[in-house]
Chains A and B, each alone.
Chain A
Amino acid sequence: MSTPHVHLKGITRRLGTCVANDGVELELVPGEIHALVGENGAGKSTLMKVLFGLHQPDEGEILIDGRRVRMTDPRAAMRHGLGMVHQHFMLVDTLTVAENVTLGSETQARFGLLAPGDAEREVAALAERYRLPVDPKARISQLSVGAQQRVEILKALYRGARVLILDEPTAVLTPQEVDELFAVLRALVADGVSIVLITHKLAEVKALATRLTVLRAGRRVATALVADTSIERMAELMVGHVPAPLTERSDEAPGAPLLEVRGLEVRDARRLPAVRDVSFAVRAGEIVGIAGVEGNGQHELIECLAGLCPPSRGDVRIAGAAVSGHGAREHRAAGLAHIPSDRLHRGLVSDMSLAENLVLGLQRRPGVGTGPWLGGHTLEDASRARLQEYDVRPPDPRAFAGRLSGGNQQKLIAARELTQGARAILAAHPTRGVDLGAIDFIHRRLLAERDAGRAVLLVSSELSEILALSDRILVLYEGRIVHETTPAATDERTLGLHMTGRASHGDSPLPPREGAPRTSGGLA
């Protein structure tokens, strides 16, 4: 093999107390598509930020064409021929395509005057050459997401990028756009560009990449040729092995349905259906796990069940009461507790005390406070026992929630949501970004709630968590429930196939979706 184009040697990057990258190696040879795969938090993004000069490594070095370089900032990275397509596009909505592509290295007439005609011609020529169809005169805000992504790629190419880093490039695309993107990427590789593809969609790796590197918990666990690696093997490398179940499952049959969803459709921020025709019921005394790769409608499903976003079709019942279309307050009143997926944006008010955070969502309940009054010593005293019970450290009712560690913040939320006497519990990524002790604690609490006769809906992208806790498992893929099973009848490998939409569709690496027939071969 020739000298690697880019060589990351022994990269270690610490974020606070945790090690995001631990001695990671990555070699990128000219003309290859190298997939960088791993679960959320495995360290993929951190590694690429180090490469692109957005983070400085604590240890290790970066070689470009065999020469050691320091990536001080993105400009340095661009000078060395690197280009990055961020997951959240770095585009100025109000400007045109040509303006965005040339920004910072504009074509100029004299006296600092813009030469928009020249810029548009140059961008059009570049777009033509790399077969990235886009109108240079169009404003970004008028473009589809796929076209915006093409602009991002053009931006990198305009600056002479020979290495392209794409962060989860298909997360926001429609199926046709995915096909088009793949065709473009293949053409770029044929032109001598090398590509790093960050993803956790294994079918895409199989369809597109030459080699792959798997990261798990900040370490590289494997680098291999894609042709020699089955999807099953990739999933195994990504996930590791599943720990033994925490407790015995109770044999009692589940009771009445407490959380029911029928024919639910929810639209995302772009007004496109993200949850499509989903129906299920969670009964008293069972935990139903919703497995799936993130971005397949989980977020919209959670927000809808919590009353934070109305469904466009279908209905939601909590403990028998129809609540769809009502707000969060009504959902809670009907008997739903909700551990939100984003504790800083939704679950906590960082600048309020632990005692105050323990009543968020319950601030109007008669038992909490008296008459119009709420707060002070009564509130603090009432919170002490719960802070102890849920092992929140420090158990000081007056401390600000923002000063707790992630694990303690999550325990604080659990202390609030699992002690309010709700009959149904919506637990969304309840252990994301918390330490092992807190994970174990929260898992045991959820099982205890199940045993106490509550209905628990667990949404998680951690397969191990789903397998360890659930009585039944539903797999969400592209907004639909594509598979139902139980932990005893499945394993992470099989689940992984369903999660990537592969199991039900034979050998096709990218299954067609309804209303979106695949144009085979794409544009290449």
Chain B
Amino acid sequence: MNISLPQPTITPISQPFWDYIQEKKFYLQCCQDCHKWVFYPRAHCPDCFGSDLKWQAASGNGKLTTWSVVHRAGHPAWQERAPYVVGIVELEEGPSLLTHLLIDEQDLYYQLPVEINFQSINGFLLPFFQEKGVRV
């Protein structure tokens, strides 16, 4: 059985996010009313409920708040790549996202500075993260 890695299920709201990612650009929505950054993409700001969201370049930097070395994947296609590391990155801009980490298990620690690293899965770029300033 050949099961491929699951790709993002893109919506009209999130399309710009993925379009920028394919250009190796990391853009997030920023609320023009309360000036908070928004992730994941929405039609409104989840903080002030304003509707004036603008796509702006984000730093791609953040800190690692938690991680897991996955030995038994929840998806059969990912099981072929186990063990691998996923984690949650708190971005410099405020929001947190879940991502795949290109970091060895022994180098992981709480609040580790990380940066974006675009990786191609089935020809589609995804925002993975790596340890900041380290050649992967």
A-B interaction: no
